[in-house]
Chain A
Amino acid sequence: MIEDVKSISEIKKITEAIENQVSSYVVGWEGVTKSLIIALLTGGHVLLEGVPGTAKTYLAKIFSDSLSLAFKRIQSTPDLMPADITGSHIFNPKSMDFEFRPGPIFANVVLMDEINRAPPKTQAALLECMQETQVTVDGVTTKLKEPFMLIATKNPIEFAGTYQMPPAQLDRFMSRLIMNYPPRGAWVEVLKRKNDRGEAVNVKPLVKASALISARELIQEKIKVSDDILDYIAEMVRATRKLPQAVLGASPTAAVSLLMASKGYAATVAGRDYVTKEDVRAVAFDILNHRLMLRQEGPSTPSEEYGLVRIRGVIEQTVKAVSS
């Protein structure tokens, strides 16, 4: 098990080890695993969006098991209360006192399944956790574990009993990763492995939390970003605000996410200590896709990938325009 990280090139090694292990269990989502690692190492949170049964929960579980991190899962329901997540003060008749019983948010990786089924107040309770890595219950603020990362899953089809996530809340997620049906080849492979292995899961923890924390610091402090790149990032988000199709473009928070994710990409994928324009382009779709609100143009149909086809087109067009 890796206990410490001293250089950027080691971060790349860690990434590869995790990716290998995860892909031996989960088929067809290598890109998603990569993005999860980037978010973990740059302090981001991730929204996994996809139709039911595309291994969103399974992937999150295998991912965090590979890291020897504390993992907790919360299944959202319309009657879930904030205290179900944060914990609450319970009266202990023996000591005649209120005691704090920490909720499932006190873990390193918290999986919030079907986040849009939780009522708004409960969704909002997550915001403080996501932004400040702390939680306030009955006026008492407690720090969460480090590293802390929220992985939320969401179904693109909004059923009765779901609460739409407002744009400000979506904006707190570094990236939205799309997990709709994998290609047919991968599908066959999934069934083959299920047949061989059954339900048995025996994931080896590969990296200690301490190593992840030092990797985070290395990325924050050692990866260089030139003025050219900062300019490129600013141009990219600003271009989305001027799109005639957009009601709402990417926010300044999006620019910050783009910067952080590009640094993460440079370290984890290339093992480099500086960011290039290719790095920015590589993460752009994941960072921007949930932050654009496009004008309605007739009803969207499932064949359009739940409206994603238009967004993909708009982002590609923007990236191309600012790169030329």
Chain B
Amino acid sequence: MVIGEGKPIEEVLSMISDKKKILVVGCRGCVTVCSAGGEKEVSILSSAIRLAREKEGNPIEIREETIERQCDNEYVEELRGYIDEYDAVLSMACGVGVQFLAERYRKIPIYPALNTTFIGGTLEQGVWVERCQACGNCILDKTGGICPVARCSKSLMNGPCGGSSNGKCEINPEIDCVWQLIYDRLKELGTLEIFEEVVPIKDWSTSRDGGPRRIDREDLKL
């Protein structure tokens, strides 16, 4: 899923400092699962904003809403009836949701309340980790199901650099050396010979380097 993290409250407050009436919109998709932008977080952020503004002697009116998915126009449309009554919208979705709202509602500013951090998963309660960089050309069959593009600090394709130490990455002892993990996994699977194949230069055109991406599925279009 897409993992997000709430922006510092000071940053959010500065975006809306001149607004009197705002709409805070959550999303029931990924950001609810990673506890960053669901109904609960909408309520917590709204309370924090109200409190801060009251303290400043500059109260603000906030409506709280959470829709199914902000990355889907069908649900974004649900805001149509009342969105223009507000001075601004704080979206608690990922960057996709913020943009889908901004594309649909042209008259009022849509501000991000989260930083969209990565594509990842839940490792344990309260811990999320990056696993995919959406390079558009998956090579996990060659790397024991462990991704060096997303998880090696240098995205090396042919093995660990000289900074791999006790299974950790040279840039931070909290980060696993992904090539140690790949090597161990290939060994477990009895397929170490894959390691010695020279991996040719990756085609990055399927990644963001090739420009913004789009999928057209003719079989699904109406």
A binds B: no
